[in-house]
Amino acid sequence: MIPATASTSGNDLLAALPARERENLTQHGEHVALAQDEVLCQPGERIRHAWFPLEGFVALLAEVDGHDALAVSLVGSEGMLGAPLVLGMHTSSLRARVQGAGSALRIKATDFLRVLAAAPILERQLRRYLAGRLEQLAQTAACASFHVVEARLACWMLMAHDRAHGDRFYLTHERLARLLGVRRSGVSTAAGVLQGRELIGYTRGRVVILDRAGLERAACACYGQERDEVAAVGVAAVARNDADGAVEDASPPRVAA
Amino acid sequence: MIPATASTSGNDLLAALPARERENLTQHGEHVALAQDEVLCQPGERIRHAWFPLEGFVALLAEVDGHDALAVSLVGSEGMLGAPLVLGMHTSSLRARVQGAGSALRIKATDFLRVLAAAPILERQLRRYLAGRLEQLAQTAACASFHVVEARLACWMLMAHDRAHGDRFYLTHERLARLLGVRRSGVSTAAGVLQGRELIGYTRGRVVILDRAGLERAACACYGQERDEVAAVGVAAVARNDADGAVEDASPPRVAA
DNA sequence: AAGCGTCTGTGCGATAGCCCACATAACGCC
DNA sequence: GGCGTTATGTGGGCTATCGCACAGACGCTT
């Protein structure tokens, strides 16, 4: 027997759902592994599944002039892949590539949409998640334009740390360079500095977070914003779950549909 | 009496609605002027209204380190302001500032949400719009990181041109610099080049588009992406409208030239 | 006609990150 | 142990943009 319910609550979005809605999802979903560098969705191609990561993390990459240029988002067990489905779209211009191996609950797009239509809590949850993503994308745009590589690197280390379940994960300079949209040697230099200050350890792609507080000081304020937004989705979810049917703010008790 | 229906179909999102839904919105809305530099929404403050611009354009500005850093989106009669409301949020970290004076249909957030709950076509329409915005934000992030000022400037000129109803609008180098997140003199140099090639005319903030095709060649491919996304929302809307058999007034969905 | 504020053109040193290239070092496999 | 592959450290020249500063040009107001 698959420990479906137990394992799927490893995803924050799912964990916040009432049991009935969660079970409807897990019923239609399958537990799959996410292999390093696996591509879950290509730009322009039809989105076939919604994914709820349980472990590991997936980068969303924007293309420019025909090649991957910049990672605009990092999705782990706090989020989902296939967000455009929630908005009624079946394609995306972003590439989803696994950057930290792990696993996920995967649900066919059609099944997902059918379940979603009958799962008001899930829908509200995902709306909040999307709103957070909008904010975060704007933040990323500004961050990538204005902050130096070292601060941005620290930022990504922290985001990866939040999503890896532990202090160690695998991310080579080369990969990081592609995420940050800078040269590999630029990452080497910046990582060297962080290593020199004993904030991280680094040997052939094996990252160890040594001093998280120090890393937060080295990172730009964007990390704080990002974390707060993630937290906001979670808090809203808990509040809703507690109320579960009660109206906690001025919004009508689940509109139409 | 205010010519509400006639004027509000100046907004593409509203124009695509069946008459009943549109009237529900216009009933609760008021026609207001958008003054140059007026701030419609401050980061962190509660979103009080949804706005559907009829003329002019509004920039969404991301903050970094406490001051406006980069415009991540330009909203005109093809879109709306207050998008987070659709996702159940009542704040945003972006500042909305009018960059081209005009007018808009403004609706109180509570009224808007109530109407929205009973307007399925509007809701689908806005979802698509949000999906487009997600794509476009990712694009902006990459563009701002990788493309040179001249190409980005051309890009913004084109976007402003699409949203201004005419070949002339007002945008000083200083303002553009704040939108692009670069120095004012950087804009002056880039604008000088575009002027030298007779793609635009420029005198003290008064911009004239002289050679749109040439400008498109000077711009980065990001402009094309952006335009296609805007068009996709419109096309989807028209297709839906046809399907619903709800095309009563032959208001031509203004085709982007 | 004079004056002043705004807008634009230009210059110069500083710098972060680019491109290209090469050297070293760790690991994995035979 | 030897060898190829992968990962990281380092260097030098180049360019776009920054930061700062100033002068010229335009246009509204008095």
Cβ-defined contact of B84 to A134 (cutoff 8 Å): yes
- Residue A215 (CA) to nucleotide C5 (C1'), in angstroms, measures 47
CA nearest to A61 within chain B: B138
Averaged pLDDT, groups of 10, chain B, 257 residues long: 54 92 92 93 95 95 90 96 95 94 95 94 94 95 95 95 90 94 94 92 89 93 92 72 42 34
Q: Which of residues 175-214 of B touch strand D (CB under 7 A)?
A: 181-183, 185-186, 203-204
Cβ-defined contact of A124 to B88 (cutoff 8 Å): yes
Cβ-defined contact of B143 to A257 (cutoff 8 Å): no
Q: What is the mean pLDDT of residues A192-217?
A: 91
CB-CB neighbors (< 8 A) of A143 in chain B: 64
Average pLDDT, chain A: 88
> Which of A63, A89, A146 minimises the CB distance to B128?
A89
The Cα A134–Cα A164 span in angstroms is 23
- Residue B186 (CA) to nucleotide C12 (C1'), in angstroms, measures 15
Phi, psi of A239 (to 5 degrees): -55, -45
**A52-73 pLDDT, tens digit each:** 999 999 999 999 988 888 999 9
**A8-53 pLDDT, tens digit each:** 578 999 999 999 999 999 999 999 999 999 999 999 999 999 999 9
Residue B200: what pLDDT?
92
> Which of B84, B138, B221 minimises the CB distance to A131?
B84
| Range in A82-96, A178-192, B222-236, B241-255 with the lowest mean pLDDT | B241-255
- Residue A208 (CA) to nucleotide C22 (C1'), in angstroms, measures 29
- Whether A84 has a pLDDT exceeding 90, the answer reads yes
Residue of B46, B75, B89 to mutate, interface with A, max A Cβ within 10 Å? B89
Residue A1: what pLDDT?
45
Closest nucleotide to B188: CA versus each C1': C8
Cβ-defined contact of A256 to B120 (cutoff 8 Å): yes
Residue A128: what pLDDT?
95
Residue B257: what pLDDT?
31
Residue A241: what pLDDT?
53
Give Cα separations from A150 to A58, A158, A194, B45, B182 (angstroms).
22, 13, 8, 32, 21
Tokens coding A252: 């009508």
- Residue A199 (CA) to nucleotide C16 (C1'), in angstroms, measures 23
- Whether A206 has a pLDDT exceeding 70, the answer reads yes
**A225-250 pLDDT, tens digit each:** 999 999 888 776 666 555 444 333 33
Q: Please give the radius of gyration of chain A, using alpha carbons only, rounded to the nearest integer.
A: 18
Residue B245: what pLDDT?
41
Tokens coding A73: 């988002």
Whether nucleic acid strand D comes within 7 Å of the CB of A195, the answer is: yes
Q: Is the pTM of this model over 0.95?
A: no
